[in-house]
Chains A and B, each alone.
Chain A
Amino acid sequence: MAAVTLKRVKKNYGTTTVVHGVDLEIKAGEFVVILGPSGCGKSTLLRMIAGLEAITEGEISIGSKIVNTLEPRERGCAMVFQNYALYPHMTVAENIGYALKVAGLGKAERMARINAVAEILGLEEFLDRKPIQLSGGQRQRVAMGRAMIREPDVFLYDEPLSNLDARLRVAMRAEIRKLHQRLGTTSLFVTHDQIEAMTLADRIVVMNKGVIEQVGTPDEVYHRPASTYVASFVGSPGLNLLHVMVDRSASCIRFKDGQTLPFEHGQAVLVPDGPAIFGFRAEQAQLSEQIGLTLTPGFQEALGSTRLLHGTVANEEAVIAIPGNGPLDATTSMSVTIPASAMHFFDSTTGRRLG
Chain B
Amino acid sequence: MEKRATFAMGWLGMAFILPQILLVFIFFYWPTGAAMFWAFTLERPWGGGNEWVGFDNFRQVFADRAYWGSIIRSLMFAASTATLSMAFGLLLAVACDRGLKGYQAFRTVFVWPYAVVAPAAALAFRFIFAPEAGIFSALVKQNPEFWNPAQNGYHAMTMIIICYSWKYAAYCFIFFLAALQAIPRSVIEASALDGASVLRRVFDIQLPLITPTFFFMLVISITDSFQDSFGIVDVMTDGGPGKATELLVYKIYFDGFRGLDYSGAAAQSIVLMLIMMVLTFFQFRYIERRVHYS
Contact = CB atoms under 8 A, between A and B. Distances in A.
Given A81-B186, A85-B186, A50 B193 contact: yes
Given A102-B196, A103-B195, A132-B292, A85 B209 contact: no
A98 interface: yes
A77 interface: yes
A37 interface: no
Contacts of B191: 87, 98
A333 interface: no
B291 interface: yes
A87 B192 CA distance: 12
Interface in A165-192: none
A102 B194 contact: yes
Given A88-B293, A89-B208, A83 B192 contact: no
Contacts of A81: 186, 189-190
Interface residues of B, number: 21
A88 B195 contact: no
B8 to A, nearest CB: 47
A83 B184 contact: yes
A163 B192 CA distance: 23
A87 B187 contact: yes
Q: Looking at chain A, what size class is its interface with the partner chain?
A: 20 to 34
B91 to A, nearest CB: 21
B59 interface: no
Interface string B167-195: 00000000000000000101101111111
A136 to B, nearest CB: 10
A99 B192 contact: no
Interface string B283-294: 000000001111
A327 B186 CA distance: 53
Contacts of A89: 208-209, 291
Contact of B190 (A51, A71, A79, A132): A79
Contact of B195 (A83, A99, A132): A99
Given A85-B184, A87-B187, A87-B205, A73 B192 contact: yes
Interface string A128-155: 0001100000000000001000100000
B200 interface: yes
A52 interface: yes
A78 interface: yes
A94 B13 CA distance: 56
B193 A79 contact: yes
A146 B186 contact: no
Interface string A75-100: 00111011101111100000000110
B293 to A, nearest CB: 5
B183 to A, nearest CB: 9
A73 B196 CA distance: 7
B291 A102 contact: no
A52 B192 contact: yes
Nearest to B207: A89
Interface string B185-225: 01101111111110010001100110000000000000000
List the 7 closest pairs (A to B, CB-CB), nearest first: A85-B186, A99-B194, A73-B195, A85-B190, A102-B195, A81-B186, A89-B208
21 contacts: A50-B193, A51-B192, A52-B192, A52-B193, A72-B193, A73-B192, A73-B197, A79-B190, A81-B189, A81-B190, A85-B189, A88-B291, A88-B293, A98-B196, A102-B194, A102-B195, A102-B196, A132-B292, A146-B190, A150-B194, A150-B195
